[in-house]
Amino acid sequence: MLLVDSTLYVDLLRARRDPVEALRPWLLREEILCCAVIRCEVLRGVVNKKVHERMRDLFDSLSSVDIDTSLWDETARLAWALDRRGVVLPLTDLVIAGCAMRAGATIISSDEHFKEVPGLATAAALPKP
């Protein structure tokens, strides 16, 4: 499974590429997950109403990792452990990392913060379809 971070969606949109088309091979195999943080990060930045609706529809179609109380507890433990090592990451990235780890997913992101999270599978780009 793949958890596609907001960085990939934003990069596709900035390049004027339709994320639905770009992700089609993985979408058809139901290999892409989402979480509420990624959904919010992407949707808050989309200005065009039609693109906003298309992205909302895309996120509605994806399986989403639940962010419940236990995930918040796991995120707090992860943040505490990383902070003690001098690695202070944004809370949003820690929650996204927690979602990926909970789902056993590889996070696809150009954000270097994710490489700091022990045990988190990361990739800068999607694997070959």
Q: Rounded to whole angstroms, what are the CA distances from 5 to 52, 80, 81, 83, 87?
A: 17, 23, 23, 22, 20
Residue where the block lists tokens 């906003």:
52
Please state whether the predicted TM-score (pTM) of the whole model is above 0.85: yes
Q: Say yes or no: domain 2-123 is CATH 3.40.50.1010.
A: yes
- Of all residues in the chain, what percent carry a pLDDT higher than 70? 100
pLDDT digits (tens, 9 = 90+) for 87-105: 999 999 999 999 999 999 9
pLDDT digits (tens, 9 = 90+) for 45-91: 999 999 999 999 999 999 999 999 999 999 999 999 999 999 999 99
Residue 35's pLDDT is: 98
Backbone angles phi, psi at 93, to 5 degrees: -65, -35
